[in-house]
Structure 1
Amino acid sequence: MVFWQLTIDANDPERLATFWQQALGWVSAPPGVADGEPTWWAHYRGRLGGRDAFTDRLFDPAGVGPALWFQQVPEAKAGKNRLHLDLYPTARDDSLSQERRIELIDAKAAELVALGATVKHRVRDDNPADPEYYLVLQDPEGNEFCIS
């Protein structure tokens, strides 16, 4: 097994960590698990020292996703991301109507815009055989991500 985390360059790691914590519902300290705790959570807890939480890292409270680290860098973002996050507030539930999906996606987008995101564009296709709706946004430092 290989340990890994997703590292995102940031000019203001604390601001991005706060934004993504609210966007994902993740936590700023490794959650505890009674049995079968991943060894990387113990690694991160050791790195906390006397602090209660990180200001630049996030953890999936369910223990499924990798840790996110917002790494301080001096330069601003330049160009398009080669990697981005896709958020699914609809939980990819195919039983939802197109209109209900749009409501959920738009509500999540409005929440994130209030936190500093920017909507870049919307894609909508009401083809009954394969309806599609998603938004492309940027986080407070310009990193692209999608909501669908």
Structure 2
Amino acid sequence: MVTRWTLTVDCQDANVVAAFWKEALGYVDRPAPRGWDSWEQWLRDMHVPEEEWGDAAALTDPDGVLPDISFLRVPEGKTVKNRLHLDLQVGGGRDLDQAVRVERIRSHVDRLVAAGGRVLAEHHDGDRLDHVVLADPEGNELCVV
């Protein structure tokens, strides 16, 4: 039996980190639960104190295929390298023309830097760009391949 799963990211500012990943993945804000017109209405009906309303954010695949991602505010900051990270596979594969692949990778990297990410390293296989390692606004690593 397959187990349904989602991904949760601990962070200091759920809305900032969610906005970055929304751009990175092409996801959209998760709609309010069925029966509620808005998250604000749901939070109020669930008696969540208003000072906690910004403690979480949630994204969903607009096609409904890939897992949802939640972002939860935690008191501690990131202190070590991720043991798990996402590879954003935008390049099209190593068999694709290198110039096309590099353009796709660099274009996506540029969008993510504009969204608050930063480049940590570029990795090459000889003279060919293999992937770029980035950090999201709070330092969580990801690769653009």
2:145 aligned with 1:145: no
TM superposition shift of 1:60: 0.8
**RMSD over aligned Cα atoms:** 2.3
Q: AA paired with 1:101? A: R
Contact 1:117 1:140 in 2 (8 A): yes
Q: AA paired with 1:56? A: A
What TM-score do the two structures reach when normalised by structure 1?
A: 0.78
- C-alpha distance in structure 2 between counterparts of 1:94 and 1:77, whole Å: 33
Aligned residues: 130
Map 1:16-35 → 2, pairs under 5 A: 16-30=17-31
Instruction: Tell me what 1:134 maps to.
Output: 131
TM superposition shift of 1:52: 5.8
Contact 2:33 2:39 in 1 (8 A): no
What TM-score do the two structures reach when normalised by structure 2?
A: 0.79
TM superposition shift of 1:115: 1.0
Instruction: Tell me what 2:89 maps to.
Output: 88
Contact 1:29 1:52 in 2 (8 A): no
TM superposition shift of 1:99: 1.7
Contact 2:122 2:129 in 1 (8 A): no
Instruction: Tell me what 2:121 maps to.
Output: 121
Misfit runs of 4+, over 4 Å: 52-55
Structure 2, gaps ≥5 residues long: 41-53
Give aligned-pair identity as a percent.
40
Instruction: Tell me what 1:50 maps to.
Output: 37
